[in-house]
A = this chain, B = another copy of it.
């Protein structure tokens, strides 16, 4: 009855998902019509359905792709050797690099995922919970080992880290003077400095001015 949406193969389908990521991030899910999508690929909207099952399926694919990228990097950071500070830094740098390198998918992952219908949204929510759990784990480790202050608020600290990383998409412009890695390092330094028990201050260079962007 319904034509099966062949999984991930087909290069043309990948183009579709990429175009959807760009449009959804620019105009939002509900603000993007199938005609917009088709126009951006030089075809008619009806033709899209040779590659996909529905508009929502497309949204899910973009969102899930974003979630997987974040999780992969986060898992690597969580399990690597080193102090909790090292891992927290690797986590945040990885988060910000991922967000910037795939700005479209990351924006959609952060902003449009809530428009998924119940079941698909729940699947994404699971991954988000897992992700936040990884940050909390690192912070908890740092406290256990005496590296971080014992009275640090774990949930609040984790959210501060994620908030910093999650808002990058809102102000980052590719023509800025700082690299993603550099941004990640600076954010981490600010946060970790406040977390540590003893002072292990690393000198930080003064950066150039950048334009105002909230």
Contacts and interface: CB of A to CB of B under 8 A. Distances in A.
B153 A160 contact: no
Contacts of A167: 159, 162-163, 166-167
B151 A206 contact: yes
A42 to B, nearest CB: 24
A195 interface: yes
A31 interface: yes
A174 interface: no
Interface residues of A, number: 49
A133 B214 CA distance: 9
Contacts of A209: 155
Contacts of A3: none
A153 B191 CA distance: 13
B132 A212 contact: yes
Contact of A133 (B136, B159, B189, B212): B212
